[in-house]
């Protein structure tokens, strides 16, 4: 039995605090994502409350191991990101590197507005796919 090339993470769409909209429109954030992930993020993030604690721990560990550093400007926190796919749309998980950030919350950035494009409402179930870096397995 081989190692899967993708892992799936299950959750539901939830509202955030609305802070990501301003962050994602900053020119340095746009350039970091363009240079490191190949897209400029649409304003805001899609927040997902992961349904299973073991999946939350696994995703946190993947980000720690293989996350791409988002280099912050002065006054901002560091973050790590991983490429992902949500219902066929390429996107990225972003995790602020701040103490106490909840393990079970996942923020997704994409070049399109995910809620609108995929018709995702509050409480809808979603499955996020993360491609594993095969060379590291």
Predicted confidence (pLDDT) per residue in 17-40, tens digit: 766 666 777 788 889 899 999 999
Mean pLDDT of the chain: 87
pTM: 0.85
Give residue-wise pLDDT tens across range 3-20: 557 899 999 999 877 666
Question: Rounded to 5 degrees, what angle do the CA atoms 43, 101, 125 make?
Answer: 60
Domains assigned to the chain: 6-132 (2.40.30.30)
Distance CA 27, CA 36 (A): 14
**Given CA atoms 71, 76, 82, 85 in this order, what sign does their dihedral have?**
negative
Whether 125 has a pLDDT exceeding 80, the answer reads yes
**What digits encode the pLDDT tens for the residues 75-102?**
777 889 999 999 999 999 999 888 888 8
Given a cut of 50, whether residue 137 has pLDDT beyond it is: no
- CA–CA distance, 77 with 8 (Å, rounded to integer): 27
């Amino acid at each position: 039995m081989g190692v899967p090339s993708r892992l799936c993470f299950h959750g539901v769409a939830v509202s955030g605090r609305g802070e990501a909209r301003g962050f994602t429109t900053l020119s340095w954030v746009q350039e970091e994502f363009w240079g490191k992930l190949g897209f400029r993020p649409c304003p805001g993030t899609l927040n997902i409350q992961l349904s299973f604690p073991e999946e939350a721990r696994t995703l946190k560990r993947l980000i720690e191991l293989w996350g791409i550093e988002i280099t912050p400007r002065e006054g901002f926190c560091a973050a790590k990101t991983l490429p992902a796919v949500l219902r066929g749309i390429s996107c990225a998980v972003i995790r602020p590197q701040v103490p106490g950030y909840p393990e079970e919350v996942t923020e997704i950035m994409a070049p399109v507005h995910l809620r609108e494009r995929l018709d995702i409402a509050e409480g809808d179930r979603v499955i996020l796919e993360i491609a594993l870096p095969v060379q590291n397995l």
